[in-house]
Structure 1
């Protein structure tokens, strides 16, 4: 159960980073932590 949860978080985090780096729009404060 924990492994699946960790994998889900990792995939979501990497996807967020990839999307933020791909779009690279300064008008999105949600992508910037």
Structure 2
């Protein structure tokens, strides 16, 4: 059970960082204009 939870947590963290990176790149593009 803990194994599954660890995998889910890691996936959540990865997706969170990925989304954050995406948002930051969008913001930088907008600010460049």
Normalising by structure 1, report the TM-score. 0.68
- Which 5+ residue runs of structure 2 have no aligned equivalent? none
Q: Which runs of 5+ in 1 are unaligned?
A: 26-33
Runs of 4+ off more than 3 Å: none
Aligned pair count reads: 25
Which protein is richer in helix relative to its size? 2
